[in-house]
Amino acid sequence: MVSCGALHSFLFEYDTPRIVLIRSRKVGLINRAVQLAILAYVIGWVFVWEKGYQETDSVVSSVTTKVKGVTLTNTSTLGARIWDVADYVIPPQEENAVFVMTNVILTLNQRQGHCPELPDDKTECKVKNDCVPGYVSTHSSGIQTGECVPYNSSSSIKTCEVFAWCPVEDDNHIPKPAFLQEAENFTILVKNNIWYPKFNFSKRNILPDINSTYLKNCIYDSETDPFCPIFRLGKIVQAAGQDFQEMAVEGGVMALQINWDCNLDRAASHCVPKYSFRRLDNKDSAHTVSPGYNFRFAKYYKDSNGTESRTLVKAYGIRFDIIVFGKAGKFDVIPTMINIGSGLALFGVATVLCDIVVLYFMKKKYYYREKKYKYVEDYDLVSISEGRVKAKLLPPPNLERFRKRM
């Protein structure tokens, strides 16, 4: 079906659209102005500003942390007591976060047994019948036995007896100011390794030109030491616009954000981390439940009889989430060609726009239309000879088109 002649014409003929060149200052300038605007958009915005010639990839990250600091407390219950890293960082290591305890409610020497429940509107009772044996709710300390007993010797309140770790925890009175208020001066070292898989580019937040002498003593500061990986806890909280001592009472969650937006078409040394800080939990207690941040854990002991006892710790503190995010960009042909192609297609808009001006709004519009359009009227075939087709014209088209078309 594809003959020699067709192949000959396909390969050795070149077709190009026929153009009518209209000499008009106004339209010429409009045309060039629109084309210039499109060019400025494509080159200026798409390529230079938004880097439309680049392929992007998301960061893959790994973080290790280390907290340092000791503090002394002195209370009637515990006496003078030192708290170091092993005491207040719980659990001792996590992957992308670190919890520093700032406030605590300790319930010492809990043993399994029967004791009165903590008083509230559900647990207070007057007589035994107020308490249902076996009753337990999600807020209970234990299973109710059915007895109604005095809560403590110094008051007349009676609550339902429960089988639980006794004595039950009383968390109604949180220490104010925070128990470990000195935590403000503790420091956290953050080591972060990032990788962009698509470009096989990796880097650490401790930059290659930083030496270990500097690292031993520096503290991060957004102005003077922007690449020191050691952060003072109070400064982190302050940089997020919060007050450390206020946050330390009920705890909270802080984000230490490390942003790695890198342009990999430049030298690798330009790819550096940007630190920022943000509070994640909701301060507004009217629209939240369980404000601040706390959790319970226990230390278990065995006495010489083999009876197990425990110290229940309700730990309030600040959890620092190390959030690493960012995108790398590197030149790639595909997004470049897509944007060039779309840009070329947009140039067609200039032609459409100027055509509308020329053919509908100018005084000489009918003249231009005659030059641009060639009407193929309907015809009856008469003969084909000598490479030309002869046809008998049908009546000419209605000239109303010319005047009414708008």
Size, binding site for its own copies by CB under 8 A: 172
Quick one: DSSP state of residue 194?
A: E
Minimal distance, residue 337 CB to its own copies, in Å: 6
**d(C-alpha 393, C-alpha 348), whole Å:** 35
Q: Which of 126, 173, 392, 404 binds its own copies (CB under 8 A)?
A: 404
Assess 52 for contact with its own copies (CB under 8 A).
yes
Considering only residues 152-181, where is the footprint of its own copies by CB under 8 A?
163-165
Query: Closest CB to its own copies among 62 and 126?
Result: 62
CA dist 39 → 131, 165, 337, 345 (Å):
81, 75, 15, 12
Tokens of 74: 């002195």
The DSSP secondary structure of 28-94, one letter per residue, reads HHHHHHHHHHHHHIIIIIIIIIS-TTEEEEE-EEEEEEEEE--EEEEETTTEEEEE-HHHHBSSS--
**d(C-alpha 44, C-alpha 163), whole Å:** 73
Determine phi and psi for 166, rounding to 5 degrees: -115, 145
Minimal distance, residue 246 CB to its own copies, in Å: 19
Binding string, residues 181-220; x marks residues near its own copies by CB under 8 A: ----xxx-x-x-x-x-x----x-x-x-xxxxx--xx----
Query: Closest CB to its own copies among 127 and 378?
Result: 378
Considering only residues 76-115, where is the footprint of its own copies by CB under 8 A?
80-82, 84-87, 90-97, 99, 109, 112
Beta bridge partners of 87: none
**d(C-alpha 244, C-alpha 251), whole Å:** 9
68 is in an annotated binding site: yes
Asked if 297 contacts 106 with a C-beta cutoff of 8 angstroms, the reply is: no
Minimal distance, residue 19 CB to its own copies, in Å: 5
Q: Which of 127, 287, 392, 395 binds its own copies (CB under 8 A)?
A: 287
Minimal distance, residue 75 CB to its own copies, in Å: 13
Minimal distance, residue 340 CB to its own copies, in Å: 7
Q: Which of 68, 176, 266, 274 binds its own copies (CB under 8 A)?
A: 68
77 is in an annotated binding site: no
Amino acid at 376: V
Assess 341 for contact with its own copies (CB under 8 A).
yes
